[in-house]
Structure 1
Amino acid sequence: MATSHAAPLRTSDQAVWNRVLMLHAHVERELTHALQRQHGIGLSEYRSLEHLHHSDKSELRMQDLADKVGLGQSSVTRLVGRLETAGFAYKDLCPSDKRGVYAVITDEGRKRYQAARATYMEVLSSTLNTFTGDPQLGPTVQALRAAQG
């Protein structure tokens, strides 16, 4: 029986990946605190509202939303339940497939997203700027910004 072993990560790849993860953790923490403090929503709620806001019909299948936000099916169901309780979204059945459930953004959800978007963008830029001078994370920030094209 043949076994397949993945090639070990090159030390430099692992070091780069660790820096990306460290930067990600710092940025996510700052975004989470700011959104919760200023707008009463979590980062996953914000990202869900963002995806719903930018979707063609202001709605997404629950599985598509789960994929976009990076959550499992049960987690996105709980998340949409929280959005529904807050009045920011609601669940709707697909008319052609009664098994298909959609999350739909409400006008109140659009308002909360628009208000939170400025905070998100400001905190994101500010946090990245904070790390540009860091000897360990600065090159990672610069590389990410350069990749924007």
Structure 2
Amino acid sequence: MSWDRFVVLHTRVEADLARSLQRGHGLGLSEYRALAELAKASGGELRMQELAVALGLNQSSVTRLVARLEEAGLTRRDLCPDDRRGVYSVITDEGRAHLADAVPTYERSLAAALEQADADPALKPLVAMVRDS
């Protein structure tokens, strides 16, 4: 079934990305993706709920994730000026620099993982679809 092959491809690629980012930059894959989402957001900030949706995480998971990023100095929290109940996660200059250092590792690791998966005849059509999109 195509879905099962997609899950295999996804799992392999995610594992390779996670290992490379952790080894090279001390970042988990979710942490990398959070920094990437924040970096491309207007003003470098997102409400916690927006970040949770963008990452596909629940509220408690994104709260723990942001706490780790804050502890590392890569993000900070800010209160919404219009609604004091709203909390934003904001990427710091250090977070932007750390992300910029990690992007080449992410891209190289992704390319290598897709190249390796392309050698598997069962995954080759899926890899072609991913590369074409």
The interval holding the TM-score normalised by the smaller chain is over 0.9
Query: Unpaired runs of 5+ in structure 1?
Result: 1-14
Give per-residue Cα distances to partners, 1:88-128, cap 9 Å, x unaligned: 00111001000000000000000010000110011001110
**Structure-1 separation of matches of 2:130 and 2:21:** 23
TM-score (norm 1): 0.88
State the number of aligned residues: 133
Is structure 2 residue 35 aligned with structure 1 residue 40? Answer: no
Supply the distance in 2 between the matched residues of 1:30 and 1:118 (Cα, whole angstroms): 14
> In the aligned structure 1, how far is the partner of 2:24 from the partner of 2:130?
27
Following TM superposition, the consecutive aligned residue runs of length 4 or more in structure 1 with deviations greater than 3 angstroms are: none
Q: What corresponds to 2:74 in structure 1? A: 88
The higher-RCO structure (CA 8 Å, 6+ apart) is 2
In our comparison, the structure showing a higher alpha carbon Rg is 1
Q: Does 1:101 align with 2:87?
A: yes
Question: Which of the residues 95, 98, 103 maps onto 1:117?
Answer: 103
The one-letter amino acid of 1:40's match is: G
**Of 36, 39, 48, which aligns to 1:53?**
39
Q: Structure 2: which 5+ runs fail to align?
A: none
Return the TM-score normalized by structure 2.
Answer: 0.98
Q: CA RMSD in A?
A: 0.7
Tell me which of 34, 50, 75 is aligned to 1:64: 50
Q: Which residue of 1 aligns with 2:9?
A: 23
State the partner residue of 2:117: 131
Q: Percent identity?
A: 52
